[in-house]
Amino acid sequence: MNFPSQKLFYFFIPIVVVLGAFVLIKNNIYTDKTDSVKGLSVVESQGSNIATMPEPDKDGDGLKDWEELIFGTNPEKKDTDNDGIADKEEYDKSGKSSITQQLLFQKDSNNLTQSAGIELFTQYSSLKQTDSYNATNVDLLADRVVRELQANIKHDAYIAGNLSVLNGANAEAIRAYGNALAGIRDMYFEEYKKSPVESPSGAGIKDPVFIEGMKRVSSIYLQMSKDLMALPVPYEIASTHLDLANNYLNSSITLNETVAGSDPLKSATALGTYVKLQAEESNILASVSLYFQQSGIIFTTDEAGSFWQTQ
């Protein structure tokens, strides 16, 4: 639709920063800067090669860097809150189990950022106690958590029964459909261009202007999907038309979710889904264009349908 896609990532830098902790865990947490410890080391154990991974403690406080990322302390500072008590000492005083229990208590949270961190923490801790603890399985664990995140993104769908289908549409009806469909897209894109999504302050997702802009584009997508569902569609292209309407419906949902609350992972996952939907839209539009070609429909330059000859 030519609405903002890649440039949106610039406005989501705060989310990327938060996701850094997640990525660090997936990529072996930290890579030691010395030549002696880099990546994996292989040791002999009972006749088999078991890959073991270094777990750095950069500030030397007794807590592994990955543990500090989960607990919210600074992995490069022994006393995060400057109260004169080292992080490890505070951790021990609070009781190791108390932090774990607190995390497990919060596991049912609807906040994806929190629940993903908790899930990754508990599963990673369990994995460490087995002979299966290696780089490959850590990656598989992180990938599974990511897939679960994506599954939490809401998806709605129109159904074929919602369509107004034209059986036996002639060339004139097909041409009218092509002009109407292109006209709807053009109308909403022009509406978007009147006030593109911007972040004057540069704060991106925290900028009220940006948030309102995203919500406005979400509304445009939603109304466009409704207009497509109200448009009579030739039987032969009905399935593809339905795919396009659902693409716009879910683009609306995902854009709204990117700015719906203080859940960085949910926002980033929704944004990724939106970018994927834009790629899918291109394929759908190409299929619609092919339908007109196969139907022998050639639009003149003064028709809205001339759009299909550029796809």
- Does the pLDDT of residue 16 top 90, yes or no? no
Residues 243, 280: Cα–Cα separation, whole Å: 9
Q: If you average pLDDT over each of 63-67, 125-129, 274-278, 291-295, which comes out highest?
A: 291-295
Average pLDDT for the chain: 74
- Is-above-0.95 flag for pTM? no
Asked if residues 214 and 256 have their Cβ atoms less than 8 Å apart, the reply is yes
Please provide residue 98's backbone torsions phi and psi, each rounded to the nearest 5 degrees.
-65, -40
| 146: its two tokens | 């990511």
Which structure tokens are listed for 271? 């944004």
Mean pLDDT value across residues 243-268: 84
Confidence grade of residue 275 (pLDDT, cut at 50, 70, 90):
confident
Characterise 198 by phi-psi region: left (phi > 0), alpha (psi -120 to 50), beta (else).
beta
Over the stretch 196-239, which tens digit does the pLDDT of each residue have? 888 777 767 778 888 888 899 999 999 999 999 999 999 999 99
User: Could you tell me how far CA 224 lies from the centroid of its own chain?
Assistant: 22
Query: Quick one: which of 83, 69, 34, 84 has its CA closest to 54?
Result: 34
Q: How confident is the model at residue 134 (pLDDT cuts 50, 70, 90)?
A: confident
**Which residues sit opposite 45 in a β-bridge?**
48
Distance between CA 137 and CA 147 in Å, rounded?
Answer: 15
Which amino acid is it at 211?
Answer: I
- 172 alpha-carbon distance from chain centroid: 42
* Runs of H (alpha helix) within 152-301: 171-193, 208-230, 238-258, 264-294
Q: Is the pLDDT of residue 113 over 70?
A: no
pLDDT digits (tens, 9 = 90+) for 228-240: 999 999 999 999 9
Assign 177 a pLDDT band (cuts: 50, 70, 90): very high
- CA gap 257, 252 in Å, rounded: 9
pLDDT of residue 83: 83
Distance CA 210, CA 199 (A): 5
Give the residue from 115, 213, 228, 233 showing the smallest Cα distance to 164. Answer: 233
Give residue 154's pLDDT band: very low, low, confident or very high (50, 70, 90).
Answer: low
Query: How do the domains of the chain map onto residue ranges?
Result: 14-151, 155-310
Residue 169: what residue type? A
Which one, of 286, 216, 274, 215, lies nearest residue 248 by Cα?
274
Say how many C-beta atoms besides its own lie within 10 A of residue 190's C-beta. 9
